[in-house]
Structure 1
């Protein structure tokens, strides 16, 4: 057996995935909190003086398990970040695939215009499919939030890369620009303007390819020569024609401008018009007032391309097809982006041969769809897409890919076969959330009994009722792949999976239970029907059955006792060379010693049970065993030594958890 090893809650991912803390773009400028004042147009007379609460604060944390109507369920993971009106969380499906869920509070959708804007974002993003655009997975809602489920990009964004690196080499930026240009070419071919292109909205996927995300400000032009007039975007990236508002209007060229801003920022280290005062930024943009610092030299060919991209007149900027024809792209060109680039400059970038660079450039263009973009029809936003026939629902069916427009149901006792939240009794629901306190209380009671065993008579003590507890009868440790499986003396069979959630198959029942844990919410117990299990539970039930067959064929029961009195789960276990320790949701602690004697401490430390190698079970008040020095009916080898080991193990748990 290995050294002491417990099974802690495993987070879905340690990194900040798709995280853009305080960087989710507002829908429109000038209507947000104090920290977003810099996004207001300079001609606006009213300044926000009071700090308003972010609309993202209205987003309620999703439940631990989000059930959708079509049976596809997601387990909520880590909080990823928040912005002006949304919060992002990890979501994991039944196969273990992790996604990012952009969560928007329904309370922030205060009028039809805001609702239409959100539905437009969903409609646009759902319609996109490109290797350099964050993949849209699903959308669904409950009574509180709307969820937009997206491909997760675990290596953060270009913004984090620039913060870590300060400046990025020209060969790397060439590859970045090809991937961005490929995605924008695809968007424009479908008459979509992104309107919020910036380093913080371009993410690295697991293979370090760039993906454009956040379509909250995206818009579809009804025709190629149409214009938009809303003043929106992020100050450092706003094109001059956007600042003109209704007087000028804007079109696809705003994305070309943003490409120039990003290219400059990556090569120089900061955006070209950056200033502390947002009004100064706007004035510089209107005059295209920027310079290339001498202490941060870049190539003349790079300056030439940037100057053209940042032309004041939108019509003087290169088209999306013309950008990659500039001489700058003939320089050293890497075959791919490596993870080391997130923190340091990769080696050998300046020594890539001209022939190899040309091959890499062509390959990158092929992968980004430069030569053969998918000629899909332009996206159309129809009125029917933006209005629901059901007043209480926000997402119309046409925008809900998997028919998840209705809220998931976690508690639904009326429908046979639907999951419902289980509260067995007040003792269960309380104890299961306070296992750390049970450790402390049990240790304190054992310690108190030790001090009182010599000075008190049994008549003066309040003795617990000593029925035999429900015990773990068989177990298999397969945590290197699935988890820890066990069978109880009441013949219930459970698996404590490696994410610390548990599935318990009830003996001689058509039901099974899922015990789901989250740091902030504690425990939730969901009852399901075996005949209509949720999608993610089907595979887990197969694993339970696999373990059950193995244990019934190969293992002997610990004890013949155990009438079905209560629902009990294994919460946690630890193994040492001398024993294995089981901590149960009812507060009991079971110790299986290597000499095949088992001892269970129950009643918060007031009762003790012994199971002999030949499966005889006896339960007595712990104070009685302490005063006698052993069990009264059948002596236990090294009984007091075993009790001392148990006390010390529970003590470590109590003070470790405190």
Structure 2
């Protein structure tokens, strides 16, 4: 590529590779696919000249050109940094490639449609402007690659991850269809990961608006592997919203089985396979039958028989296995650790939460939702008042100023002394907390050792016939709020990401605020609902939400009789939890350590190791002094054949948690 060398934006280099591996929304589809008999045409993107080092919009705002990100059939994409340091992706289209009114109208329609979108799973449109040689479409940057890049690296993607991806995609497509827009180029390469690993649909180059009463389009367009059979029918059949449903099925197949279902080297063979629905599931694949059922229905050659977007989410596949609350950058390289450990109850909560976040949860509206009315293309959107310009005033950046605040909210600048004081206080609190946690772990391990060696007797501590207070229900929602749990005494708590806990007592007449501070590591403050400070009101609302959800949807970990689980006089709450591939571990403030194993057996060491409890998968519960269990080598009424292995596991986990 000619021109002076590209300059990195900063020392961090958010997109550090310039070889095209990192993708941002750039055109990659073809309107009329070539056959293998024709000479390949030159990409129109090759006409795009490298932007100058600084590009200015109509209002004089300057953007510094950064790394080259990649190219498609019609455009090239570059990083752009504005004068405040914020980084965007600039889809750059050469004016030389806009040779007639049809091409111009197509580009301006893309800008109008994309500019009209406001959804958390659609790439944000920021600005558009031009210079003498290029048109620049400024977009939210998605630095974590696309779904295509993920699949190329991973080869296959796990069903739990694909459930999450499909739900986010369906939410965005439902928003498009509600606004009477068909994307027509949904594919893995056009769906990007934002910094938080949420999916964003981009590239509206082939998008079109459906205007009643016709509700059909007849242009043959799209990317070969993803084209629906009715698109290939051209004017004979026409196509509508169902083409996006078909593409969802293609993407789901590709992610689960490694490649699109109709893939072939020859485009004409792909088209023949699509027309005749000729595809097969790999015989040796472990993908579930529920997934295959959904794919078969999505890839029905009769568009009227494909499920609607709402119907897709009602298929058993979404609830028959683990459903994560989100994904991390770990997914770009490997299947996330522990994802298969998600319980059915937690998975159902995650599914409902994600549906709510994307706007498909029983009609729930999105927070700060943008326009939801049908998109309309006006004549003023297609014709410029100035002969030398391409972009009309209605698409100029004049009315886009607020868009900048939607991408990045500047951090509030605090005085240096205040910030330093806050950091010192936090460090001191954390140091005390670690010390308290270590002391409890060490005390428990010492008791276990002495009981095993016969130097101490847990029976002498007196067994009052009550089982320990257990974590009976829980929901890991730490990607947004924190870790919610219900105890066997019916207290409801949320350990918030900020470190504090809000606990509602069983009668729900009082609350306890547990803060990580003080000489004991945590400070407890009891208050009535009327005494809750304004700063905690939203936290209490979160606790109320999880209380209603867990009471309605989750089952208790064990069968219990009223008054037989722990003392109602003590305040019990969760100090720390740890998730592992084999178990989840809860550390309580009363000296109890609960382990929920993957095989649904649960063990609790209580009173700093003097007693041990076993809860079976069928919810039978047995609590005994540890010395009697050690002497017997197992429990009496409800033994576990792998007790010895798990008991060693418990001790190892306790030792591992001590911070040195």
Give TM-score scaled by structure 1 length: 0.56
Distance 2:55 2:400 in 1: 11
Question: What is aligned with 2:283?
Answer: 294
Number of residue pairs aligned between Structure 1 and Structure 2:
385
1:67 aligns with 2:56: yes
Question: What is aligned with 1:631?
Answer: none
Shift of 1:401: 2.9
SS of 2:398's equivalent?
Answer: coil
Question: What is aligned with 1:361?
Answer: 351
Question: What is aligned with 1:344?
Answer: 334
Question: What is aligned with 1:144?
Answer: 133
Question: What is aligned with 2:635?
Answer: none
**Cα deviation code 1:213-245 (max 9, x no counterpart):** 000000000127510000000000000000000
CA contact (8 A) 2:24 2:142 kept: no
The structure, 1 or 2, with the larger RCO (C-alpha pairs under 8 Å, 6+ apart) is 1
| RMSD (CA atoms) | 2.2
CA contact (8 A) 1:268 1:296 kept: yes
Distance 2:210 2:292 in 1: 31
Match of 1:159 among 148, 171, 186: 148
Q: Which moved more, 1:310-319 or 1:362-371?
A: 362-371
Question: What is aligned with 2:230?
Answer: 241
**Cα deviation code 1:435-492 (max 9, x no counterpart):** xxxxxxxxxxxxxxxxxxxxxxxxxxxxxxxxxxxxxxxxxxxxxxxxxxxxxxxxxx
| 1:213–1:233 CA distance, 2 compared to 1 (3 A) | same
Distance 1:9 1:319 in 2: 46
Question: What is aligned with 2:15?
Answer: 13
CA contact (8 A) 1:22 1:84 kept: no
Shift of 1:15: 4.3
Q: Which moved more, 1:290-299 or 1:110-119?
A: 290-299
Distance 2:99 2:265 in 1: 32
Question: What is aligned with 2:295?
Answer: 306
CA contact (8 A) 2:24 2:145 kept: no
Pairing of 1:575-594 with structure 2 (within 5 A): none
SS of 2:375's equivalent?
Answer: coil
Question: What is aligned with 2:93?
Answer: 104
Distance 1:176 1:163 in 2: 16
Structure 1 residue runs of 5 or longer lacking an equivalent are: 1-6, 31-36, 41-46, 406-658
CA contact (8 A) 1:397 1:403 kept: no
Question: What is aligned with 1:206?
Answer: 195
1:187 aligns with 2:176: yes
Shift of 1:29: 1.2
Distance 2:213 2:248 in 1: 20
Question: What is aligned with 1:453?
Answer: none
| 1:229–1:15 CA distance, 2 compared to 1 (3 A) | same
| 1:75–1:353 CA distance, 2 compared to 1 (3 A) | same
Question: What is aligned with 1:53?
Answer: 42
CA contact (8 A) 1:27 1:216 kept: no
Distance 1:206 1:8 in 2: 17
Question: What is aligned with 1:402?
Answer: 398
CA contact (8 A) 1:309 1:318 kept: yes
SS of 1:295's equivalent?
Answer: coil
SS of 1:298's equivalent?
Answer: coil
| 1:27–1:380 CA distance, 2 compared to 1 (3 A) | farther
User: Which protein is bigger by CA-based radius of gyration?
Assistant: 1
Pairing of 1:221-232 with structure 2 (within 5 A): 221-223=210-212, 226-232=215-221
Question: What is aligned with 1:113?
Answer: 102
| 1:159–1:90 CA distance, 2 compared to 1 (3 A) | same
Shift of 1:96: 1.1
CA contact (8 A) 2:26 2:77 kept: no
1:29 aligns with 2:68: no
Q: Which runs of 4+ in 1 moved over 6 A?
A: none
CA contact (8 A) 1:25 1:216 kept: no
Question: What is aligned with 1:376?
Answer: 372
| 1:356–1:22 CA distance, 2 compared to 1 (3 A) | closer
SS of 2:128's equivalent?
Answer: strand
Shift of 1:384: 2.0
Shift of 1:21: 9.3
CA contact (8 A) 2:9 2:67 kept: no
Give TM-score scaled by structure 2 length: 0.56
Shift of 1:110: 0.2
Question: What is aligned with 1:81?
Answer: 70
Distance 1:192 1:63 in 2: 34
CA contact (8 A) 1:182 1:365 kept: yes
Distance 1:114 1:224 in 2: 25
| 1:19–1:400 CA distance, 2 compared to 1 (3 A) | farther
Q: Which moved more, 1:330-339 or 1:202-211?
A: 330-339
